[in-house]
Amino acid sequence: MRLLLISYYFPPCGGATVQRWLKWLPILVEKGFEVTVLTTKDGDYPVLDKSLLSEIPPDITIIRTKTFQWKKIWNLFFGNKKPMPYGNISKNKEQNLINRILIWVRLNLIIPDIRKFWNPYALKKAIEYLRTTPVDFVITTGPPHSTHLIGLKLKNKFNIKWIADWRDPWTSIYYLQLNPPSRISLYWHKKLENKVAQNADWNIVVSQHLASQLPTDKVSVIYSGYDDKRIPAPISPQTKTENKPFKLKFIGNITEGQRVDVLIQIIAKAFPDEDIELSFIGTNLSEEYKSLLQNLLPERYVCKNFLPHKEALKEMQDCQVLLLLINYYPGAEGMLTTKLFEYLASYNKILCLGPHNSEAEKLINHYEAGECFDIKESDAAIKYLRNLYNLWHSGESLKNEKDVSELSALNQVSKLIDLLHSLKD
């Protein structure tokens, strides 16, 4: 079976945006699928991770097209010192007038997203490819959800079978919830979302909540999963050893609506004097959060910017508690990050801070992998952390025991393969 995957983000782009399909592609190739990936060359990527290029199967054909680079425009206004925002369109009083104007334009005039300017390049190349190379399915993955509009046009032109892969919501994505565009803009967002969901031959999504939000019954939930070939062996022992601090780690990017301040306060109260180390890895913390860390946990915290994925996985193993933050915004119950599955596969304890009844909480509870607390439950979270510390200090292992192998990428891709065969027949 031959597939054409269209994705704006692809290695050497790094971060969570590429992990879902980077896990899946080797398995699809092993199962006999012929895959071509249409992507960008030198796109506006949040981070670079060239180490991921070695994980792309050599049998995959990659077609790269040029695209307009908004980073150049951004740098004209703000220089190289201020990074271009990715998926985090926040408005505050401290921003200068130019910044506020650019954000207003992005929210209200560039619909559905700023990556839409890649579409003409990608569409032209996709049409050239499909005229000479028949495929069984075109698959578009978003965000950016503008990529789905390429699939919609290819569906209309070639009457080809098309699957839309939704890694995040569209109209209910957190940054549109926290920074609502105008009613007219939101109307066009919803119109395009409906058009994509209803015209795709099928939609695959990352969570049950997202499936319930799509205006179609043609939808299946397939988790991103974790790649057991990439998860390093557990670091042993995980019990108390001489001169070793109790390690708590948040790994990934901080986004709007996550209560980092409350998390820091909880850990500081849980461990007023103990030898602990709180790490934030893979994110550039704001000066406000760094100041809070310095005031409450001086010399007991570590901040590291982006790490290659292999290094991030090693960091997940080398700790006692992994920290997960769920954004406070309508629709947060459907938020399932790729790293949660890797957290679960590490078998380390997880402390989740965020609204209750999220799908993340349900998975953590189902696999008995940790505890979830609302920001109003600080005392309970402190008690939980103290208990873990005491168990560890007394020599007990904190490793989880319930098997999570059903969440592996191999098992999740099997669901995709079954879907593809059913749609082809």
Read off the pLDDT of residues 265-274 as tens digits, 9 standing for 90 and up. Answer: 999 999 999 9
d(CA 13, CA 31): 26
Q: For residues 27 and 59, is the Cβ–Cβ distance under 8 A?
A: no
**So where are the chain's domains?**
2-225+408-424, 246-393
CATH number of 2-225+408-424: 3.40.50.2000
> What's the pLDDT score for residue 82?
57
The residue ranges of the chain whose pLDDT is under 70 are 69-99, 101, 232-243
Give pTM, 2 decimals: 0.89
CATH number of 246-393: 3.40.50.2000
Whether the domain at 2-225+408-424 and the domain at 246-393 fall into the same CATH topology: yes
> What's the pLDDT score for residue 251?
95
Q: Listing from the earlier edge strand, what are the strands of the sheet with 61-65?
A: 61-65, 34-40, 2-6, 137-142, 162-166, 202-205, 219-221
> Which residues in 130-166 are b (16+ Cβ under 10 Å) and which e?
beeeebbbbbbbbbbbbbbbbbbbbbeebebbbbbbb
* 3-state DSSP of 401-418: CCCCHHHEHHHHHHHHHH
The pLDDT tens digits of the residues spanning 217-234 come to 999 999 999 998 887 656
- At residue 36, the 3 state secondary structure works out as strand
> What's the pLDDT score for residue 175?
73
> What's the pLDDT score for residue 231?
78
d(CA 227, CA 345): 9
Q: Which two tokens stand for residue 352?
A: 């989740």
Q: How far apart are the first and last CA of the chain?
A: 12
> What's the pLDDT score for residue 334?
81
- The H or E element containing residue 176 is helix 174-178
- What torsion do the CA atoms of 78, 80, 85, 90 make, to the nearest 10 degrees? -40
> What's the pLDDT score for residue 68?
77
Maximum pairwise Cα distance, the chain: 68
- At residue 3, the 3 state secondary structure works out as strand
Q: Which two tokens stand for residue 31?
A: 């199962």
Q: For residues 174 and 332, is the Cβ–Cβ distance under 8 A?
A: yes
